[in-house]
Chains A and B, each alone.
Chain A
Amino acid sequence: MKRLYLLAAAAALGLSTGGAGAATLDDVMAKGHLQCGVNTGLVGFAAPDENGVWEGFDVAYCRALAAAIFGDPMAVKFTPVTGKTRFTALASGEIDVLSRNTTWTFSRDVDLKQTFVGINYYDGQGFMAKKSLGVGSATELNGASVCIQTGTTTELNLADYFRSNGMEYDPIPIETNAEAKELFFADACDVYTTDRSGLAATRASHEDPDSLVVLPEIISKEPLGPLVSHGDDQWADIARWVLNALISAEELGVTADNAMEMAAGTNNPEINRMLGSEGNFGEMIGLSADWAVHAIMARGNYAEIFERNIGVNTPIGLERGANAIWSDGGLVYSPPFR
């Protein structure tokens, strides 16, 4: 009898063996959905709503990618990954694309063999303190207790910053944003450091946001963007140009509402090439001709996604700032569709 259990377990659990490595697009097509790795829960960027549907800035990109491939923004499943498991999940093929506010760095790109497909948010590391602490600048933090999330680039930046400024500090490592909030609000640490977008989200969720102050210093560059595994250029191209299509759409004035209309043809040849009424870009990249139309219609263009999830009218309340389109003086820039 016991022997039966064993065999049954092996058989019943049924291991699915997919094709190795190369053609991610074919695998995704065969599966019928995209598997996207997102944050385990960061308000505004990726969080399940009360019905368990994932929404947020990072999630919207995944939906656009799914729409570009399948024409259906809901043909995507989300795997919440932690700072520790995100790269392994991508490398092992557990997820097809990782869209989890991940900083593009040399070692992650080169040593960990990942391909960053672009930058969808220009962030920087900052500090948040209680106003009652009476600190106005990060240079006054000598000897402070600092809460940091482990497994991120922030703890490396922090070490470098204090070292180069000749200051001492007491690092308090924590695993998640929620724990950091708990420690910070209970005064177990003086300042909390993470990306400024995360600080804004944390500050927004506090019952009295005015009692908290984000210090002016930005101690690092944190270009965040989606990434895919090394070695499948076609898949990387798809992921890269979906992001570029969202950005170009903002620049060219294509929105979720007018995309369908514009896809019929406009006077602007670049819009026509992008939306597929001219040329055969869809065929070149291995998708249908109207891939970009679906991608833009999923959750809107870059500006719409930004404003809906993290913009000034949301609880997060982030200004566009460096994330404005280049023609408005920001850094967000897409190569041309030509």
Chain B
Amino acid sequence: MAYVTEQSSRPFRLRMLIYDTRYRSLTIQICALAGLMLVIAWLISNTAQNLALLGKPVNFGFLSQPASYDINQSFIEYSSRSSHLRASVIGLMNTLLVAFLGCLLATAIGLVIGVLRLSRNWIVARLMTIYIEGFRNVPVLLWIVFYMAIIIEVLPSPREFRGDSPEASMLLWDSVAITNRGVYVPEPLFSNGLGDVSVFGIFAISLDLIAFLVVLGAGIYASQRVARWAGKVQESTGVRPATWHYSTALIVVPPVALLLALGFHPGFPELKGFNFQGGINMRNSLIALWLALACYTGAFIAEIVRAGIQSVSKGQSEAASSLGLRPTLSMRLVILPQALRVIIPPLISQYLNLTKNSSLAIAIGYMDVTGTLGGITLNQTGRELECILLLIVCFLCISLTVSAVLNWYNNLVKLKER
């Protein structure tokens, strides 16, 4: 396109807008912009007309109305009198929870499967291939409902734990109960805890948790200072003082002391009435969604990991050992940075896929943002346009944040060519 025409001194004429390369690109762009504006204006005017016909002007006022329905999993205070907005926020938190758990497990699965697939062990490599192909070639929605069906049909119901000779029993010295309504694990309780602190009156954070994290963080920081001190001594004297007992003590003792002071004891789940009470309840829908998403995405991550490992040429590791690097060091300094450069970008896009796929929670009744804002709130208020708009905005925010992180990372590890 960029060929040079002879400099024309002819006066400007209208047809030059199309036939003169100097103006043409401008013309095209303005036309495209105008066309887009027209289309958008057309859509908006249609929508406005339709809404006027229906008598439902765009109005987000419903968000402050009481939601009137209950949500079975919420991290912040919620009752059926809370607003639709709060219900949506709870849904968003549930989405982020399952996405976070899913990404962690999917990465673990992907790493193990991806490495094992390259194993020289024939049977292991074949099994991993079957796993990858099996999960990748069946729709994720099918996996989700399938896992849910397994949990519901195969696991025992709470009723089977009852009676003198129950058909099912709790695991690990009566501390964990696995039922078809969810898994109950012990929860941390504090007999003389510090209570909760309210943040802006919107939600409450446990002070015990904050205190524990602060003490743990301080311990880790102090142990790092000790390590640095040891390094200095080593540089000046050539002998590194043994510090492991100091660092261990610094990390372990203060949190343990704090827990004792707060009166920490585990709260075990117990069968009371219809359900297990006490303990942390991981609902069946959460587990089904979590496992299905993790296994499905894990299969894709495994392929990414395999490609990443195979992308680092053998010469690199040979070069590293010829420099005298020990295997661990050569892995850390030479192989991994190069493999990660290949692995990370598709990995993050898999994380994004997992987060988006978590919206399929609606198929098994997990109360994520599609279930609250895009499900019950939409149904009860009849505000389709507003609800779906908000839903789209929620997911766009998540995606754009992840994309921003991805770009930042890409710039960080970009080959610095000289």
A interface list, Cβ under 8 A from B:
20-21, 83-84, 87-88, 91-92, 107-108, 111-113, 133, 141-145, 150-152, 155-156, 158-160, 162-163, 169-175, 182-183, 186-190, 230-231
Nearest CB of A to B398, in Å: 23
Interface residues of B in 365-383 (CB under 8 A from A): 365, 367, 371, 375-376, 378-380, 382
Contact for A143 among B53, B69, B277, CB less than 8 A = B277
CA of A144 to CA of B274, assembled, Å? 5
- How many angstroms between the C-alpha atoms of A156 and B50 in the bound complex? 29
In the bound assembly, the distance between CA atoms of A145 and B159 in angstroms comes to 12
Q: Is B310 an interface residue (CB 8 A)?
A: no
Whether B363 and A186, one on each chain, are in contact in the complex, defined by CB atoms closer than 8 angstroms, is: no
User: Contact at B180–A187, with CB atoms within 8 Å?
Assistant: yes
**Residue from the list B79, B157, B277, B384 in contact with A187, Cβ < 8 A:** B157
Structural contact, B379 and A150, CB atoms closer than 8 A = yes
Closest to B281 in A: A170
Can you report 27 A-B residue pairs in the complex whose CB atoms are below 8 A from each other? Answer: A21-B53, A83-B379, A84-B379, A88-B384, A142-B273, A144-B273, A145-B181, A145-B275, A150-B365, A151-B375, A151-B379, A155-B376, A156-B69, A156-B380, A158-B70, A160-B68, A162-B70, A163-B80, A170-B275, A171-B69, A171-B72, A186-B152, A186-B153, A188-B152, A188-B181, A188-B284, A190-B274
What is the minimal beta-carbon distance from B381 to any residue of chain A, in angstroms? Answer: 8
Interface residues of B (CB under 8 A from A): 50, 53-56, 68-72, 79-81, 152-153, 157-159, 180-181, 272-275, 277, 284, 362-363, 365, 367, 371, 375-376, 378-380, 382, 384
Q: Are A159's CB and B80's CB within 8 A?
A: yes
Instruction: Choose among A144, A173, A187 the residue that contacts B371 (Cβ–Cβ < 8 A).
Output: A173
Known interface pairs A145-B275, A182-B152, A188-B152. Does A173 touch B376 (Cβ–Cβ under 8 Å)?
yes
Measured between beta carbons, the chain B residues less than 8 angstroms from A159 are 68-70, 80
Task: Determine if B275 and A143 form an interchain contact, defined as CB atoms under 8 angstroms apart.
Answer: yes
Contacts of A182 in B (CB 8 A): 152
- Kindly identify which residue among B274, B284, B375, B382 contacts A87, using a CB–CB cutoff of 8 Å: B382
A281 to chain B, nearest CB (A): 30
**A173 proximity list for chain B (CB < 8 A):** 72, 365, 367, 371, 375-376
Determine the chain A residues whose CB is within 8 A of the CB of B153 once the complex forms: 186
A151 and B376 contact, Cβ closer than 8 Å, known pairs A143-B274, A144-B274, A159-B80: yes
A160 to B80, CA, bound (A): 8
Asked if A113 contacts B376 (CB within 8 A), the reply is no
A156 to B284, CA, bound (A): 23
A150 to B152, Cβ gap below 8 A?
no
Bound complex: CA A141 to CA B80 (Å): 18
Which one of B81, B275, B367, B378 lies within 8 Å of A84 (CB-CB)?
B378
Q: How far is the CA of A172 from the CA of B365 in the complex (A)?
A: 7
- Which single residue of chain B is at the shortest CB-CB distance from A142? B273
Chain A residues with Cβ below 8 Å from B272 are 143
Q: A217 to nearest B CB, angstroms?
A: 17
Contact B55 A188 (CB under 8 A): no
Knowing that A155-B70, A163-B80, A173-B376 are A-B contacts, what are 9 other residue pairs whose CB atoms are under 8 Å apart, sorted by A's residue number? Answer: A84-B379, A91-B54, A111-B382, A113-B56, A158-B70, A171-B70, A173-B72, A186-B157, A187-B158
- Interface centre among A91, A145, A182, A188, by most chain B C-beta atoms within 10 angstroms, is A188
Residues in A whose Cβ lies below 8 Å from that of B56: 112-113
A230 to chain B, nearest CB (A): 7
